[in-house]
Structure 1
Amino acid sequence: MLVPGLIQRQSQSLVMTPQLRQAIALLQYTQLDLAQHLRQVCEANPLLILEHGDTAPEAAPSSEEFHDDDPDRFTTASDRPEAAAPLPSARDDLILQIRLSFPADEQDAALHLLDSLDESGRLPVSVADLVGDLRMEATRLEAIRQTLMYFEPVGLFARSLEECLAAQLRVRNRLDPAMQILLDNLDLLARRDWRRLREKCALEQDDLLEMLAEIQALDPRPGLTLPPPEPPIEPDLIVRPNGTGFRLTLNTRLLPKLRLDDTMRAQLNGGTGAGKALLACAAEATALIRALDSRKQSLLTVGRAIVQHQADFLRNGPSALRPLTMRDIAERTELHESTISRIVSNKYIDTPQGAVPLRLFFSTALTSEDGTSQSAHAIQHRLQALVSAEGDNVLSDDALTALLQKEGFSIQRRTVAKYREGLGIAKSSQRKRLRRTS
């Protein structure tokens, strides 16, 4: 028979103190968000003094150097960090997509097409007119243009309204034969000749009205809807070549500096109600300054691990990306995976390859026949290059798979199809039809 009694047990649990919650929150802030948060905190805490860059005393920036001959050694640099490039406007985002999607010998042509767009986002000159300037075969340049049409916003680089709308419908999987007939007869739509449109599309009135509603939901001039430049987002980290290695710098250009008001703190008297309130403010201020220092050290620690692992990318670009997971960095830095995720979220690093999000460096791995691993991002980059260079010989998913396998990648057709769709590349049948049309 059980007798009621007291039983004492021991258990462990993580207590989320206010200080811990604050430290976790700071990890997730972007530079602009953190600067705004610090201003709000200082308005509420009389013991905190906010010093901006033009009034704060000079201090050596947080910077570390990485050398190939000693990958575990970082030394503090005493010179000021280089200014970071502003990040990215809508045009900058298109340029980044071009850099990541095309091989080096095609990037200049893609950028020339970008510079040739009119204000509505269409290409006012034919590919044939540009061939002489770019010294590139017309079929190859046209393949580049076809790929560019599916960058965001979809429909840029089109040569006509019909082509612009067709691209947008294609990514929505709504470009069926009836819709194509409707696009081929936009003149009837402009004249509101509904009877002839119904006859040509072989549709009932209700079906035609549904299609017209879909057309109206599209953007006929995607160049005008490019969002205005976002407020400049400064990268948290800057990495630059330095001899045989790299210098990693914590970019604090936009962040104001915090310090305690020593004069007021010296006059604290905890005996009164006001004095106790000020003591609490002093404790909160000290905790915030410590949390900011912890954030800086965590960013440098994670950045150092990424730079060491992805040094080939810094030298050679996207095709040299190596597989990397949050767990890999967690093991190297002895930080928790959730902490790594918070640190890299919405953070950018300014590299010799341009300013890129830290999450770009994390990618799953595919194993090649010789047992080595290849980054999924690098494979996608190679897949994009194969499609861009296919010319009139449009490659099916089976053909792309065979080529990649011949290059040593252990990749299956379904993975190739998934990567192709993720890159916004149309099916081979659609690419063939587009080439015939062009």
Structure 2
Amino acid sequence: MLVPGLIQRQSQSLVMTPQLRQAIALLQYTQTDLAQHLRQVCETNPLLILEPDVSVPDALPASDEFHDDDPDHFTIAPDRPEAAAPPPSDRDDLVLQIRLSIPPDEQNAAFHLLDTLDETGRLTVSVTDLATALGMDASRLEEIRQILMHFEPAGLFARSLEECLAAQLRVRNRLDPAMQILLDNLDLLARRDWRKLREKCALDQEDLLDMLSEIQALDPHPGLSLPPPAPPIEPDLIVRANGSGFRLTFNTRLLPKLRFDDALRAQIDSHTDAGKTLLTYATEATALIRALQNRKQSLLTVGYAIVQHQAAFLRDGPAALRPLTMREIAERTELHESTISRIVSNKYIDTPQGTVPLKLFFSTALPSGDGTTQSAHAIQHRLQGLISAEGDDVLSDDALTALLQKEGFSIQRRTVAKYREGLGIAKSSQRKRLRRTS
């Protein structure tokens, strides 16, 4: 017979202290979010004073350098600010269409036209003035503008409402002579002078109503459908060439500096209620400053391990990316894999190849024909290169697969299709239509 009694058991559990929760939260903040968080903390903690970072790049102290036995020489300079590269373009779809359809030596002119659009998608500056500013022939710039007007969404880069609507109708193969006459007489349409419109278009009432329905379905301001510009990306780390190697720095440009209010701290007295309150604020402030230091050191440690592994990318670009997992970085840095995930999430690094997310450097390993492995990102970059250079002969997914396999990549068609879609590149049939329209 069982007799009721007390049984003692021992177990272990992880207690999340406020300091630990704060440290984990700081790891996940982006530069912008962290700066905003620090401002909010300083509003509630009287012992903390926020100062903008006004540090100036100076000579790198010898104590800040360390080298590895690896032939790739890296230097870490935790507190040296650097000039960050320009952020990525906000209108990726249009940029991609320009790269696919405009000759490389004329793409800068196309990008300049893109930057000149107003919020409705209209080009308000004359082509002649733009051509003069660019130092190119106005007739050629006009030819480029005509091509751009038929990109998706059609009607951008137009100089007038008539041009905008005509471009959309031309893409739909509906710009017949009668429709062109209607567009040439939009003033009559605005005045609702139906009799004159029927006479000029040589149409009966029913046909004219059909054409008006088509006009109403068009977008007079296609630029408004574009997504709003994304906020500029501020990198957390910056890597630059440094002699035969590279220098990694922590970007402090957006982060204000925290310091104690020494006069107020001198008034801390644990024997009074006010002093005890100040003591609590002092404890919180000390924990925050320590957590910020740990965050910076963790970012530098992980960033160093990543760029050391991906040194070939810094020199040669995305095609040179090597396979890498977070577990490998965790083993190198002696940090937990979950900590690595928090550190690299939504963090960016400014490199000689542009500003890229830290997660770009992590990808699975795919086998190649010579028995080695290739980064999935490197294959995606090669796939994008093949499509960008395809010219008038648009490559199907089968053709792309065959070319990649010929270059030594062990890849199947379904993977090629997945990578293509992930890169935001249309199917071959859609790309063919885009080129015919252009």
After TM superposition, the score normalised by the length of structure 2 is 0.73
Q: Distance in 2 between matches of 1:364 and 1:306?
A: 15
Q: Does 1:402 align with 2:402?
A: yes
Higher alpha-carbon Rg: 2
- 1:318-346 CA-to-partner distances (Å, cap 9, x unmatched) read 22222223223222222223322222222
Q: Which moved more, 1:407-416 or 1:113-122?
A: 113-122
> Which residue does the alignment assign to 2:325?
325
Q: Percent identity?
A: 70
**Contact map agreement 2:84 2:238 (CA 8 A) in 1:** yes
AA of the residue aligned to 1:314: L
Between the aligned partners of 1:342 and 1:116, the Cα distance in structure 2 is 40
Residues 371, 156 of structure 1: CA spacing in aligned structure 2 closer, same or farther, 3 A cutoff?
Answer: farther
Aligned partners of 1:71 and 1:308 also within 8 Å: no
Between the aligned partners of 2:433 and 2:229, the Cα distance in structure 1 is 35
C-alpha separation in 1, matches of 2:363 and 2:63 = 26
Aligned to 2:359: 359
Distance 2:70 2:264 in 1: 47
Deviation at 1:64, TM superposition (A): 6.0
CA 1:116–1:397 in 2, change beyond 3 Å: closer, same or farther?
same
Q: How much has 1:297 moved relative to structure 2?
A: 0.5
Q: CA deviation at 1:357?
A: 2.1
Instruction: Tell me: CA distance 1:97–1:431, structure 2 relative to 1, closer, same or farther (3 Å).
Output: closer
Deviations 1:219-268 (A, max 9, x none): 853389563573x5432111111122110001112322222234433432
> Structure 1: how far apart are the matches of 2:338 and 2:164?
48
Q: Secondary structure of the equivalent of 1:90? A: coil
Which residue of structure 2 aligns with residue 244 of structure 1? 244
Distance 1:74 1:389 in 2: 35
2:108 corresponds to 1:111: yes
Residue 228 of structure 2: aligned partner? 227
Task: Report what 1:417 is aligned to.
Answer: 417
Distance in 2 (alpha carbons) for counterparts of 1:10 and 1:255: 45
| Unaligned runs of at least 5 residues, structure 2 | 138-142, 195-203
Residue type of the partner of 1:8? Q
Alpha-carbon distance between aligned partners in 2 of 1:61 and 1:219, rounded to the nearest angstrom: 59
Aligned equivalents of 1:154, 1:62: Cα separation in 2: 57
SS of residue paired to 1:395 = coil
Q: 1:51 — aligned with what?
A: 51
CA distance in 2, matches of 1:107, 1:417: 26
Q: CA deviation at 1:413?
A: 0.6
TM-score, normalisation: structure 1:
0.73
Matched, 1:309 2:309: yes
Instruction: Describe the shift of the 1:336–1:182 C-alpha distance in structure 2 as closer, same or farther (beyond 3 A).
Output: farther
Q: Which residue of 2 aligns with 1:83?
A: 83
Shift of 1:404: 0.4
The 3 A distance-change label for structure 1 pair 94 and 432 is closer
Q: Take 2:155 and 2:343, find their aligned partners in 1: how far apart are those partners?
A: 35
The residue aligned with 1:40 is 40
Which string of whole-angstrom CA distances, capped at 9 and with x for unpartnered residues, describes residues 367-401 of structure 1?
A: 11222222222212211221222223222211111
Let me know the Cα RMSD of the aligned residues. Answer: 4.5
**Structure 1 residues 381, 336: CA separation in 2 closer, same or farther (over 3 Å shift)?**
same
For 1:227, the aligned partner's letter is: P
Q: What is the DSSP-based 3-state SS (H/G/I as helix, E as strand, rest coil) of the residue aligned with 1:366?
A: strand
Amino acid at match of 1:319: A
Between the aligned partners of 2:227 and 2:250, the Cα distance in structure 1 is 31
Pair 116,278 (structure 1): closer, same or farther in 2 beyond 3 Å: closer
Q: CA, structure 1 residues 55+113, in 2 after alignment: closer, same or farther (shift >3 Å)?
A: closer
Aligned residues: 393
Q: Contact 1:240/1:248 (CA < 8 Å) preserved in 2? A: yes
The answer to whether the 8 A contact 1:113-1:157 is kept is: no
Q: Tell me which moved more, 396-405 or 270-279.
A: 270-279
C-alpha spacing 1:371/1:62, structure 2 compared with 1 (3 Å): farther
Q: Distance in 1 between matches of 2:238 and 2:60?
A: 15
Residues 400 and 307 of structure 1, relative CA distance in 2, 3 Å threshold:
same
Q: 2:426 corresponds to which letter in structure 1?
A: A
User: 2:26 aligns to what?
Assistant: 26
Looking at structure 1, the residues matched to 242 and 386 of structure 2 have their Cα atoms a distance apart, in angstroms, of: 34
Q: Look up the SS of the partner of 2:293 in the other structure.
A: helix
